[in-house]
Amino acid sequence: MTFSAEKSNMIEFKDVHKYYGDYHALRGITATIKAGEFFSLLGPSGCGKTTLLRTIAGFEGISSGAVMIDGKNMEGVPANKRPTNMVFQSYAIFPHLTVAENVGFGLRKDPRSAAEKAKAVTEALEMVGLKGFGNRAAHALSGGQRQRVALARALILKPKVLLLDEPLSALDKKMREQMQVELIKLQRQVGITFILVTHDQEEALVMSDRIAVMFEGEIAQLADPETLYRRPNSRKVADFIGTMNFLPAKILSEADGKVEIDAQGFGPITLNAEQVSGAASSTGASVGFRPETLTILFDGQTAPDRESMAVVEEVVYYGDMTYYDIKLDGSDQPIRLSMRNVFGRPVLDIGTRTRVAWAPGALVVFR
C-alpha cells in the first residue's frame, strides 16, 4: 500500500460545538484526521468522544462549527448519505437476518448482479476470518464473531471512513488483544481511514497512528502515541496515559532554550525548554517521569547519566516485572519504579537502601 507523501485531509472539525440543552458536550473541537490514518479518540467516559464520533456518522447534529468529510461540509447530510460506516459498541447485528444477509444489508442499491453481490459477501466474510459462516443465524454468534460480522458489513461498502465505537470493550482480555492486532492488519490491508473511540489508553497506544485525548468536551492533546507517552502536555494527560510519577519542583530560570529547575529528590537540573509544558499556574510546578525511566543499580553497575540514593518502601512482584515504591533521599513522596526481572537478579526487600539511576532527558516539567 502506497500513499503520496502528503496525505490528504479526510476529516476536518472546525470549531465544533454541541449542546444538549444547557450541557456543553463538545467545546470547540478543531482537528484534522488524515486519509488512511488509524486515529483514536481517547478519554474517560462522558468526555464527548462518542458524541464526536457520532457527528461524523451523522447521528448527532452539531450546534455550531463544521464537520468536513473529504473536503465536503456534512451539514444537512443524513447518515445514510455519508461516506462513513460504523461498527457499533453493541455491534447491532440484525437478529432477524443470517450472517450473510447482515453483511450484504448495505448492498441493496448496489447495481451489481445478485451473484456478484453474493461473491462480495463471501469475500468480506473471508477477510474477517468467518469463512463458511454465511448461513448461520445472527443470534447464534459469539461476541468476537459478532464483531467480525459488524466489520465485514461496514467494510463491504468500501467507506471512506470506518468509525469504531468502543468495539473491543465487550470482549474478554485475550480476545481483545487478538482483535487489536487483527484490526491493525485489516486497516493496513484496506487502507481506509479508521477512527476508534476508546477509554482504554493501552488500546489507543497499541493501535493508533495518532490519538486525540479528550477531557470534558475538549481535545487536551493530539499527538502520535510516542509523543503522548513521553511528552504529555499536561498533568491530566500524563495521568490518563500510563503511570506517571510526580514530584514537586521549582523553576529557577528560563533562558536560551534552557530551563533550570530544582526538583525534590533530584536537586537542581538543567533541561531543554521543550521538556516544559503547560501554562503558568499558581499551584507550583511539578516534574513528571515514567516508572521505567528510573533503574535500580546493583553492585558493580554504574549510572550512564545521574545517580541518587533511595529507600525501598514497597515491592510488588508481577513475574516478568517488579514494581518498587521508593523514596529518593531529600523527597518525602514515594515514587514508582519498574524493573524487568532478569535471571539471576535479586528482588530487593522493603527497607533496602539502594542507588538509583535516572536521566534528565526523561523528565517532563508541568508548570
Partner 1 sequence: MTKSAGASRFRGSEAANGLAMISPTATFALLLLAAPLATIFIYSFMTDGYLEIIRDFTFANYVEAWTKELYRVIMLRSLGVSLAVTAATVLLAFPVAYFVSFHVDASRKSLWLFLITIPFWTSYLIRVFLWKVILGYNGVVNSGLLGIGLIDEPLTFILYNVNSVVITLAHAYAPFAILPIFVALEKIDRSFLEAGRDLGESPFMTFLRVTLPLAMPGVISAVLIVFIPTVGDYVTPQLVGGPEGQMVANLIQLQYLKLDNYPMGSALAVTAMGIVTAFSLLFLFLNRRYLKGAK
Residues of the shown chain interacting with partner 1 in the complex, contacts defined by CB under 8 A = 57-59, 78-81, 84-86, 88-90, 92, 94-96, 105-106, 108-109, 137, 139-140, 153-154, 157
Q: Cα separation of 345 and 298, whole Å?
A: 9
Residue partners of 83: CB distance under 8 A and separation at least 6: 69, 70, 159, 160, 161
Residue 112 Cβ vs partner 1, minimum distance, rounded to whole Å: 14
Nearer to partner 1, 81 or 173 (CB): 81
User: Across-strand partners of 137?
Assistant: 98
Residue 21 Cβ vs partner 1, minimum distance, rounded to whole Å: 13
Nearer to partner 1, 59 or 323 (CB): 59
**Strand spans (E) along 35-182:** 38-42, 64-69, 72-73, 84-87, 161-165
Residue 116 Cβ vs partner 1, minimum distance, rounded to whole Å: 18
Residue 300: left if φ>0, alpha if ψ -120 to 50, beta else—which one? left
User: Is the sign of the CA dihedral 178, 184, 186, 189 positive or negative?
Assistant: negative
Nearer to partner 1, 21 or 95 (CB): 95
Residue 159 Cβ vs partner 1, minimum distance, rounded to whole Å: 9
Nearer to partner 1, 73 or 90 (CB): 90
Helix (H, G, I), strand (E, B) or coil at 197: strand
Residue 359 Cβ vs partner 1, minimum distance, rounded to whole Å: 49
Nearer to partner 1, 97 or 206 (CB): 97
Nearer to partner 1, 78 or 111 (CB): 78
Residue partners of 72: CB distance under 8 A and separation at least 6: none
Q: Cα separation of 106 and 96, whole Å?
A: 15
What are 256's three cell numbers?
536560551
Residue 81 Cβ vs partner 1, minimum distance, rounded to whole Å: 8
Strand order in the sheet with 276-277: 267-272, 258-263, 245-255, 285-289, 364-366, 276-277
